[in-house]
Structure 1
Amino acid sequence: MKTSLALTLTALLASPAALAISPSEQARNLAKETIIVDGHIDVPYRLAEEWEDVTQATEKGDFDYPRAVAGGLNAPFMSIYIPASYETSGDSVLLANQLIDSVEAIVGRAPDKFSMAYTVADVEKAFADGKIALPMGMENGTPLKGSFDNLKHFYERGVRYITLAHSQANHISDSSYDLRRKWNGLSPFGKELVGEMNKLGVMVDISHVSDEAFYQAVELSRVPVIASHSSLRQFTPGFERNMNDEMIKALAKNGGVIMINFGSSFVSNMAQSWGKQRTEAMEAAGETNRDKFEALYRKKNPYPFATLEMVLDHIDHVRDLVGIDHIGIGSDYDGVGDSLPVHLKDVSTYPNLVQGLLDRGYSEADIRKILSGNFLRVWKEVEAYAANH
């Protein structure tokens, strides 16, 4: 009975009428006049699978130039995503370089709209010039292939953070999704890598890694680390991909920032449960075509989308636990498929988030910290450390 009621309410929330939200002039101005950094947007891999010109309005995806402008987005970190399978097959170095090329191509097609960003100063200059900066982060360190020369190569190409692992353990780190604990945290190379990233000026991203790897990375890093797109285990019990309270406290002690992921399964325990039930039903049916099965399953079992309010709950919890200085945004747009919350469906909707924060009593100064101030502080500290080492 409770589940049916919840799903009915979710369906109502997902209706066109529910999508009619009107941020105040204050919220829109705050989004427009503040640099908005999003720690993780999967545009490059999206375009590798099905190309569209994101310098113009696109029919698909969560990101394009007009929507980014409407949302006030100024510095979306372009994810150089390398699937976990590339650890043992495929040319991960080639793919990474191709995805970086695709980001450069966006800027090349529309230099009046976009610019590459390798430093905090680049982000600030792009903002002043009315352009969208495109910094880059590598999701999955597989292309390093155990080589610090490769680390330097990708730094020189513009990568400014590396998510140490993805959905499986690699030669650097264990993954939160991988039940095998190959290294019991970081590998010997991974432990050395943290120090080399510090010295070079590449942020250490602990999204996706196992708890053990997280604590080891925080202990070894001489500068703050980031979680580029993670949410809270407080609201999704047992989901190791999210961070628990003790990890958030350790991250804050390190000076780092957790950048909240918007994906419904990261935000809502109901969405988590739905996913588990779908997988169990698929296995029971002996179905191998996941997309086909999910389409039919959703007709009978509507997906319980998270809401803006649920995302705000995650932000509230971090603030109450460790303070305002350790919160950022890592939406995972273009990376979580059709699972985005009501009122946060694409990059045009950041003003909705700002309005929600205003409604909950956050000051404009605190909202600016969440939108970019906290993350840019970390990035500056990483730059300063590298300059002196």
Structure 2
Amino acid sequence: MEEKREDSETSKEEALLDRALSIHRTAIVMNAAVMSSQALIRPGRDIGKRWQGLAPGTGDLDLPRLRDGEVNVLWQAVCGSTGEDETKIPLQGLELIDTLLTDILDRYPDDFELALTVSDVRRIREQGKIAVLLGMQAGQFLGGSVRALRVYRRLGVRYMTLTHAWTNLLCDSSSGAIRWNGLSKVGREVVREMGILGVIPDISHATDRAALQVLELSRGPVIATHSNARALCCPLPEMARTLGAESLAERNLSDDLIRRLADKGGVACVNFAPALVSQAFSDGYPKLKELRPALNAHMETFRAAHPDDVEGQREEKARFMKEHGITPATLENVADHIEYIAEMGGWDHVGIGTDWEGTGGHHPRHLEDVSKIPLLTAELLRRGHGESEIRRVLGENMLRVLEEAQGVEMQGG
């Protein structure tokens, strides 16, 4: 009797996954926050090959896994270090864009193509290729220059995260020092210019005050490309100190910001970084930092004994963490954030922005790489959500925002 029940449950799970994959094959499936520019410059990294690298933060995304997960749109964010002099950083941004264009588009023209418009995205997807949109994380790549924004826009950049883990010349960071009480004077000029150019402002990493100012100033929709619901996960001061941050209390979105973002026509894209997904994982992060040498040594031994068993390695990592009092984040936690943001702002205002290649080598269990996205779709189906809602979350919501931003551009901001 027990075996029949288990067989029945297995059949149900397989049916849900089959249905999820069927949706993916006909839907726009977008990852709105991919931080591959830094990963691609690592020795031996080739996005066209299934990557089994052991370094933290590698192997989240590659062409074989994109195909496995039926993901057909990447919004690649240029992401790099701060440097000492912010006015010199625009050169780094240009070099990282060149990395993306060369190592993805030029190297694999039959699989990837640059998209500048919504019609480009749909055409590229219909051709069986993966559409690549460009974004920029973060505003330090402008070096305080509005004119630099115009250059990046000509190169294809269609959204810009105003700040990152540190306060820059444009905007206060939720994990950095308060310098401008929100946006600086230049930051305000940049937000206005973004409306004229059709470049979408991204408030992920911004303080609440800065985010509210962006929402007030922007003529078009505003997005949060990789932020979750603060009500479900709010990193404590202990975790911030572990990372050397001033605070992380405002890193995820408050209920008020989610509603205001929705009122502006924007989208909040759920981040897969475990410390922003799971309160339990976030609370245990200081302990994880202490455990890391032992965890790395244990996993190195396990990988040597089981080099081809990737799922086994992931299961063993989760087991080892639990054994030492650290609760891993899960796929179900991510689905909780999607539902919560939809409850606060509506299903037209939630998307997916994994932050892959930027999560420090940790992932929610069963969402370790891009091939696993159909499991998240299956979980939403399991919870009773309709195909129309799911298609919006997977990509249609972000395409709508891109189209609206281009409409504002055509009207002259």
| Band of TM-score, shorter chain | 0.7 to 0.9
Question: What is residue 249 of structure 1 aligned with on the other side?
Answer: 259
- Deviations 1:130-178, CA, capped at 9 Å, x for gaps: 0011111100111211212111111111111110011110000000001
Q: 47-56 vs 101-110, which deviates more?
A: 47-56
Question: What is residue 28 of structure 1 aligned with on the other side?
Answer: 21
For 2:46, give the aligned amino acid: D
Question: What is residue 376 of structure 2 aligned with on the other side?
Answer: 353
Structure 2 counterpart of 1:107, from 97, 105, 108: 105
For 1:198, give the aligned amino acid: G
Structure 1: distance between partners of 2:33 and 2:358: 9
Change (3 A) 1:113 1:217: same
For 1:92, give the aligned amino acid: I
For 1:262, give the aligned amino acid: F
Question: How far did 1:90 drift?
Answer: 8.7
Structure 2 stretches lacking a partner, 5+ long:
1-9, 54-58, 236-248, 299-319
Question: How far did 1:356 drift?
Answer: 0.5
Change (3 A) 1:336 1:302: farther
Question: What is residue 117 of structure 2 aligned with on the other side?
Answer: 119
Find runs of 4+ consecutive structure 1 residues off by over 3 angstroms. 276-279, 291-300
Question: What is residue 276 of structure 2 aligned with on the other side?
Answer: 266
Is 1:59 aligned to residue 56 of structure 2? Answer: no
Question: What is residue 149 of structure 1 aligned with on the other side?
Answer: 147
Question: How far did 1:293 drift?
Answer: 7.3
Question: How far did 1:321 drift?
Answer: 1.6
- Using structure 2 for the length normalisation, give the TM-score: 0.83
Question: Does the 8 A contact of 1:126 with 1:133 survive in 2?
Answer: yes
Question: Does the 8 A contact of 2:234 with 2:252 survive in 1?
Answer: no
SS at structure 2 position matched to 1:86 = coil
Question: Does the 8 A contact of 1:206 with 1:226 survive in 2?
Answer: yes
Question: How far did 1:235 drift?
Answer: 1.2
Q: CA RMSD in A?
A: 2.0
Structure 1 counterpart of 2:347, from 324, 340, 343: 324
Structure 2 counterpart of 1:366, from 371, 379, 389: 389
SS at structure 2 position matched to 1:197 = helix
Question: How far did 1:322 drift?
Answer: 1.9
Question: Does the 8 A contact of 1:87 with 1:170 survive in 2?
Answer: no
Question: What is residue 172 of structure 1 aligned with on the other side?
Answer: 170
- Deviations 1:112-132, CA, capped at 9 Å, x for gaps: 111011111111111011001
Percent sequence identity is 36
Matching of residues 179-258 of structure 1 within 5 Å: 180-237=177-234, 239-258=249-268
Q: 109-118 vs 230-239, which deviates more?
A: 230-239
Structure 2: distance between partners of 1:356 and 1:27: 9
Structure 1: distance between partners of 2:124 and 2:295: 41
Question: Does the 8 A contact of 2:234 with 2:276 survive in 1?
Answer: no
Question: Does the 8 A contact of 2:146 with 2:189 survive in 1?
Answer: no
Structure 1: distance between partners of 2:251 and 2:168: 16
Change (3 A) 1:25 1:137: same
- Deviations 1:34-58, CA, capped at 9 Å, x for gaps: 0111111111111123441112222
Structure 2: distance between partners of 1:221 and 1:51: 41
Question: What is residue 77 of structure 2 aligned with on the other side?
Answer: 79
Question: How far did 1:292 drift?
Answer: 4.1
Structure 1: distance between partners of 2:277 and 2:28: 24
Question: Does the 8 A contact of 1:44 with 1:103 survive in 2?
Answer: yes
